[in-house]
Structure 1
Amino acid sequence: MERGAFPRVMRGIVAACGALALSACFLTPGKFESELLLTSGGVFAFSYEGEITTMGLNQLAQMGATQPFEASCADDGMEPRDCTAEEVEQQRAEWEAEQGEDAREREQFIKMFGGMDPSDPEIAEKLVATLRKMRGWEAVSYRGEGIYDVRYRTEGVLTHSFLFPVLEDMPGMTHFVSVTPRSDGSIRVQAPGFGGEQAGMGQGLPMMMAMGAMQDGDKDAAQIVLPDGQFTIRTDGQILTNNTDEGPVVEGDMKVLRWTVDESSKTAPTALIAL
């Protein structure tokens, strides 16, 4: 890999989605099943089971690794030759400047990602430990290649908005699902992580980093995991609006909305329900 790879890739990412958006699209869904139950009185239960992926964090860790200095020179025919002392000193000065730029870029990245250093070889285990400490995460394990197998369940009363996922020290991240109670008793459900522009941005980042890794000859880093699952809402309330393809179906005492989520999902699942 050539020197200065970390800042080059980081600038490309920042140009694509903006610095503030980097932390927003840190987590994306893989294969999953997710369900939201809404019943009278604002009682809710939410579950998410399946994969959560980090947007190329392992690839960034590899790109951020410090490269040792090595002078390289060639003659007019592009044949390798010994460098002169002057050429060595010039290349060393350029290398040191790039290392300083690497350090500044890495520091900015760490701040945006809640203190997570992509060059830390234990970052996956630290993320697992962080999630396990938080209520609702019944199972979290790291499979490798940036993929985490999780089971999350929670329930309660909607006295305030519910967001999933929430990660400590990363308030700006995009949530897969948001559930917001209104003063008129209705509940607004949106799932920006399951479709639409925000989900597309999150999907595009690992794609872009995989392409950069391929240019550097790292074929293993080109593996990409895109959303593939189903989001379901069950409710005994009145469905005021929704953007499913088929509309609600009745199952027993419940009205059911279902969205199929994949890489072609252009619109985030949305519903307004009166309880």
Structure 2
Amino acid sequence: MNQATTFRLHAAALLTGFALLLTGCFMSPGKFTSQLQLTGPDSFSFTYDGEIFFLGLSKLAQMGAGAEESFTAECQDDDTFEARDCTPAEEAEQRAAWEAGAAERAAERKKEAEQMAAVMGGIDPSDPEAAKELVRLLERQRGWERVVHKGDGLFDVTYTVTGTLSHDFLFPTIEGFPATNPFVQIILRDGGQVRINAPGFAAQSGDNPMMGGMGGMGSLAGLAAMGASGDSADSGAEVAQLPGLPVMEGTFIVRLAPGMRILANNTDEGPSVNAGSKVLTWAISPRTAQAPTALVVAGG
């Protein structure tokens, strides 16, 4: 792989990651365990223990935002389309065009900074204290029992909540953040049915609305999966070197109270039974192609 190709792969991954941030796909699980327990027809408990990656606080987003800051002339052979050294005249022409667009790029960077702050609940990701501010924001919300910044946008958290199923539920829900990036959803239906979806626990899921516009990389986990899954050996090797991008790996468990019935699920092994409770288990990895989902109902 030549240097020009390597540069283009890096740039494409950086810009994809930054676009995901600005369109709402700005969080991803790292290593985790999570359990949803339906303790009765109208009650539940939910836990998430492990890593959450915030793209806006990572070097990846900073590199993506500043990707055009340095000028590099690029030329290719007209016949072979292979990269070649530019002539002095070609480099001068490209540099003049780049300098002419300086004001436009500055305005775009300002707009992007405002967009980044908007999806981060007003937190300025370029602020050196941004990670500490996010820790304080989460710690004051009910359920976030532990929040530790491990560096480069990666947080180690423990989240626990119990409640009644009187309305739909999303995790994570963060004050001031748009609710566009759920890991787990509980959706109530008529007739006592409960739909459980975990779109954030799939690297390549078609259930993720970002899939179509990102050419198959519908999440941050999908970006990481290019390197981990082996689907593209050359490009994957480059993406895997991007700083701060965690590999998603964990377990999601749904445990049902006795008497609850499973209408549908997409586990590999189907339900097991433990102490009279039906249990659904998904092993999550960068190769997880479908978001965990189940449809259950109270009563036998």
Distance apart, 1:129 and its partner CA: 1.1
Q: In structure 2, what is the Cα distance between the partners aligned to 1:68 and 1:161? A: 44
Q: CA deviation at 1:98?
A: 3.1
What is the distance in 1 between the residues matched to 2:220 and 2:275?
A: 37
TM-score by length of 2: 0.70
* 1:227 alignment partner, one of 241, 248, 257: 248
Q: Which residue of 1 aligns with 2:62?
A: 61
Partner of 2:234: none
Q: Secondary structure at the match of 1:45?
A: strand
Distance verdict in 2 for CA 1:108–1:39, change over 3 Å: closer
* Whole-angstrom distance in 1 between the partners of 2:70 and 2:181: 39
In structure 2, what is the equivalent of residue 39 of structure 1?
39
Q: How far 1:34 moved relative to its partner?
A: 0.4
Which structure 2 residue ranges, 5 or more long, are not aligned? 1-10, 72-85, 89-95, 209-216, 227-236
- 1:241-271 C-alpha deviation (Å, 9 max, x unpaired): 1110100011111111000001000111111
Contact 2:58 2:244 in 1 (8 A): no
Larger mean CA deviation between 56-65 and 236-245 belongs to: 56-65
- Counterpart in the other structure of 1:103: 110
Sequence identity percentage: 37
Match for residue 201 of structure 1 among 219, 225, 229:
219
Alignment of 1:256-267 (within 5 A): 256-267=279-290
- Mark the CA change 1:221 to 1:160 in structure 2 (over 3 Å): closer, same or farther: same
* Matched residue, 1:272: 295
State the alpha-carbon separation in 1 of the partners of residues 194 and 221 from structure 2. 28
2:137 equivalent to 1:134? no
- In the aligned structure 1, how far is the partner of 2:218 from the partner of 2:98? 40
Query: With structure 1 as the length reference, what TM-score do the two structures score?
Result: 0.76
Cα offset, 1:108, TM superposition: 3.0
Does the C-alpha gap of structure 1 residues 177 and 67 become closer, same or farther in structure 2, counting only changes over 3 Å?
closer
**Structure ranking higher on relative contact order (CA contacts 8 Å, 6+ apart):** 1
Distance 1:48 1:257 in 2: 16
Residues 126 and 17 (structure 1), Cα distance of their counterparts in 2 relative to 1, 3 Å cut: closer
Structure 1 residues 172 and 188, CA, compared in 2 at 3 Å: closer, same or farther? same
Structure 1 residue runs of 5 or longer lacking an equivalent are 1-7, 71-75, 79-88, 209-213
Whole-Å Cα distance in 2 between the matches of residues 204 and 180 of structure 1? 25
- Give the CA RMSD over aligned residues: 3.8
Q: In 2, distance between residues paired with 1:17 and 1:27?
A: 9
Q: 2:21 & 2:64 partners in 1: Cα distance? A: 19
SS at match of 1:169: coil
SS of the equivalent of 2:124 reads coil
Write the mapping of 1:12-161 to structure 2, written as runs, cut at 5 A: 12-13=15-16, 19=22, 22-23=23-24, 25-55=25-55, 57-59=57-59, 60-61=61-62, 64=65, 95-161=102-168
